[in-house]
Amino acid sequence: MTDRPDLGADPNAARHLARNLVSLRHARGLTQGGLAKAAAIPRSTVATLESGAGNPSLTVLVKVAAALAVPIDELLASPRASVRRWAANEVASRVKGRGVTIRALVPEPVRDETTEVMEFAPSAVMAGTPHLPGTREFFTCLDGRVALMVAGERYELDAGDVLAFPGNLAHSYQNLDPGRGARGVSLVVYAKAGV
- pLDDT tens, position by position, 18-72: 988 988 888 888 999 999 999 999 999 999 999 988 889 999 999 999 998 888 8
Whether residue 138 has pLDDT greater than 80 = yes
13-76 with 88-189: one CATH topology? no
What's the CATH class of domain 88-189? mainly beta
Q: What is the mean pLDDT of residues 169-191?
A: 95
| Span 118-130, pLDDT tens digits | 999 999 999 998 8
Confidence of residue 179 (pLDDT cuts 50, 70, 90): very high
Report d(CA 110, CA 114) in Å as an integer.
7
Whether residue 96 has pLDDT greater than 60 = yes
Whether residue 149 has pLDDT greater than 70 = yes
Report d(CA 96, CA 49) in Å as an integer.
44
| 131 alpha carbon, distance to own chain's centre | 14
Q: For residues 5-38, b (16+ Cβ closer than 10 Å) or e, as one string?
A: bebeeeeebbebbbbbbbebbeeeebebeebbeb
Whether residue 166 has pLDDT greater than 70 = yes
pLDDT above 90 covers a percentage of the chain that reads 58
What is the CATH code of the structural domain delimited by 13-76? Answer: 1.10.260.40
Locate the domains of the chain by residue range: 13-76, 88-189
Confidence of residue 193 (pLDDT cuts 50, 70, 90): low
